[in-house]
Structure 1
Amino acid sequence: MSRRSLIGEALASAPAPAQPVAAEPKAAAPRPTFTSKRLEAFGEAARMLKRPTIRLKPAECSIWSGNARDYALLTEERVRSLIDSILAENGNRIPVVVRRTPNGERPYELVIGTRRHWAISWLNANHYPDIELVAIIDDLDDEAAFRLADVENREREDISDLERGQNYKHAVDAYYDGVQSRMADRVKLSKSMLARYIGLTEIPQTIISAFNSPMDLQVRHGDKLLPLIRQPALRAKMEEAARTIAAEQSFRQSGDEPPIGGADVVARLIKAATLRPGRSQKAVIEAQGVAIGQVDRDRAREWSITLNPSDLSVDEVLAALRPLLENAKILKKPS
């Protein structure tokens, strides 16, 4: 059974009550495995979700800020397959989870189901106003809501590792007194894996912008980048390289060229940080605060200048190049 089917089945129904059996001698408890931890989490989700369903309009719900998914980043393209599924079934098969907000601007707050909420909101605004959101009302505190949302979100492939890391960092401070081991035990995640996710939040936005999409920045990339980022001198080199890569990503996007993949971005950032003196070096060319190209310098003191298309005039580009040329000292002295 696929992971998507597994979460669907877990959320659709709770396990049957256990039948009494004759007492047996207690055996040593087996060591918990990743699979057993995940199934325990699914079982907890199923028990918490055993509630009658209601139907409501997406406009009746505010969005809980504690969920990992950034609602503002959802688009028709990202949610297209779910839109088609909901349209075919005339509603969401797996209910969302809401809680009442007596003092809120809207009667409910959505805890789980941001994609389903977005999809039905989109359908309501695009010729299908009668489709409603199937929901379960549950009285959850923030910590329980976080754990329940995490069970579902870990099975979704369209939440970036960075979003998870940011969500986990907020949760460990908000619900577990800053103690990662306590949170790891509650959400059935290894301490090392939790630390790796949270580590991604140390990556500065300058470096994140070098990736074509936050989805391209993965935990395994953070393992390679963070030891260098934590060294100020190397971090500065990486940020300089990241600005160049980001400008190149923008240029490729404007020309409908394929973006630079995440692994290649990481390789270039590491190379920039670990480049030995005397070998090829790069410098960003900026004009009016915008990167318009780069200069490659090698140990033979030869220069290669690459310029990106821009709206600047020839005089403005030359003005940006002049200080570089004047300080380069590459002109031969008169004999």
Structure 2
Amino acid sequence: MQDYQNEMFPDVVVGITDAEVIPDMKPEPALSATPAFSPKSLFVDAEKCVVWEHTARDADKLVEADIRPLAESIKASGQQVPVRVRRIEDDRLEIVAGVRRWKAVRLLNDEGCPVKLLVQIVQMDEDAAFRFAAAENGPRSDLTPIERARFYQAAIDHQYHTGKACADAFGLHKASISRVLDVLRVLKFVGKKIDDHRAISAAQASWLMSLLRNVNEEADPTDEGLEGDRHAEVIAAIDGCTAGSAAEVFGQLRQALAPSHKDGGIDIVVDDDTILGSITRSKSGAVRIAIGPEAGSVELPTLIASIRVALTTLRAG
């Protein structure tokens, strides 16, 4: 297997030497996670690696079904993308990005298929590690909202201390960080009602938190004096919910907390039934579109399409 992999990667060397360590790699937050240079890759034993405690990927939650396709691909064609690691004590390597690849190689080894792990060793401090991981994981669609939220929270707690500093480091808007963190904040209120927290979307969390908090987007509604105007109403609705999936619980809450629209208005909703606002028509025929704060969690084309559907429904009525 080693010879086959070396044919695929002619720059691969066996073993680890200090010459392979790349000094002070600090990627810019808005750039690709791929370094501007092309360091040599090398194969190591997967058991030599440990996972960085702040990685976005929850390694413990990855089950065989999550990594089986990747493992079969590595078995058939070799590992195409190296795992980014850095040296730590006891000559071990800490994985900053590439947890799924590491787990896939370990799965193959456990099944009797001897495979080495392809890595790139990069020397980086915590700031560089957070920036690198953010750039690497930014475009990944398979990261759950709660994994992304926990990564941002770890970055704030251990490195940047504020949401704004974290957003600046990652090249993001502060509001984007706050919306993702709503997935963690909302657990204080509905965590016991939802059977799988990984299924909570940022849109669902932002909608509920917008009803719980006041105008301060980072206020903790559990703090005295920071409750929103509908706080008591929302808590009562949550208490009255039947436990179940995220879709079921938030569906119950939307029904309980949606405005009555006595004027015959139509809700503006997206595919996951999140209510973004409403459209009403006055006696004179004028149409009024009211957009709520939860609309900030969706892309503009999605918002426009949802408004168009609601407007068509209003006219048909």
* Residue among 55, 59, 72 paired with 2:43: 55
Point out the more displaced range, 92-101 or 266-275.
266-275
Structure 2 contact 149–180 (Cα < 8 Å) conserved? yes
Q: Secondary structure at 1:99's aligned position in 2?
A: strand
TM-superposition CA deviations, 1:278-303 (whole Å, max 9, x none): xxxxxxxxxxxxxxxxxxxxxxxxxx
Whether 1:117 and 2:94 are equivalent positions in the alignment is: no
Residue type matched to 2:105 in 1?
I
Q: Which residue of 1 aligns with 2:243?
A: 245
Residue type matched to 1:233 in 2?
A
Whether 1:172 and 2:121 are equivalent positions in the alignment is: no
Residue type matched to 2:42 in 1?
I
Q: Secondary structure at 1:245's aligned position in 2?
A: coil
Q: Secondary structure at 1:110's aligned position in 2?
A: strand
Counterpart Cα distance in 2 of 1:49 and 1:97: 14
CA shift, 1:235, in A, is 5.0
Q: Secondary structure at 2:149's aligned position in 1?
A: helix
Counterpart Cα distance in 1 of 2:197 and 2:37: 31
* Residue among 48, 67, 75 paired with 2:63: 75
TM-score by length of 2: 0.62
Q: Secondary structure at 2:139's aligned position in 1?
A: coil
1:196 to 1:266, Cα distance in 2 relative to 1, 3 A: same
Structure 1 contact 160–214 (Cα < 8 Å) conserved? no
Residue type matched to 2:71 in 1?
I
Percent identical pairs in the alignment equals: 26
Counterpart Cα distance in 2 of 1:241 and 1:60: 50
TM-superposition CA deviations, 1:145-175 (whole Å, max 9, x none): 1111111212222211111112101202321
Q: Which residue of 2 aligns with 1:100?
A: 87
Q: Which residue of 2 aligns with 1:34?
A: none
Counterpart Cα distance in 1 of 2:41 and 2:106: 19
CA shift, 1:274, in A, is 6.9
Q: How does 1:146-225 map to 2 (within 5 A)?
A: 146-178=130-162, 180-204=163-187, 207-225=190-208
Structure 1 contact 169–198 (Cα < 8 Å) conserved? yes
TM-score by length of 1: 0.59
Structure 1 contact 210–245 (Cα < 8 Å) conserved? yes
Counterpart Cα distance in 2 of 1:48 and 1:240: 53
Residue type matched to 1:53 in 2?
S
Counterpart Cα distance in 1 of 2:37 and 2:188: 37
Alignment size in residue pairs: 217
Uncovered stretches (5+) of structure 2, i.e. residues with no partner: 1-27, 213-220, 222-226, 261-317
TM-superposition CA deviations, 1:94-136 (whole Å, max 9, x none): 000111112x4x61111110000111111100121x2110000
Counterpart Cα distance in 2 of 1:60 and 1:101: 11
1:195 to 1:216, Cα distance in 2 relative to 1, 3 A: same
1:151 to 1:65, Cα distance in 2 relative to 1, 3 A: same
Uncovered stretches (5+) of structure 1, i.e. residues with no partner: 1-36, 247-259, 277-335
Residue type matched to 2:165 in 1?
R
Runs of 4+ in 1 over 4 A off after TM superposition: 272-276
* Higher Cα radius of gyration: 1
Residue type matched to 1:94 in 2?
V
Q: Secondary structure at 1:170's aligned position in 2?
A: helix
1:50 to 1:59, Cα distance in 2 relative to 1, 3 A: same
Counterpart Cα distance in 2 of 1:88 and 1:207: 44
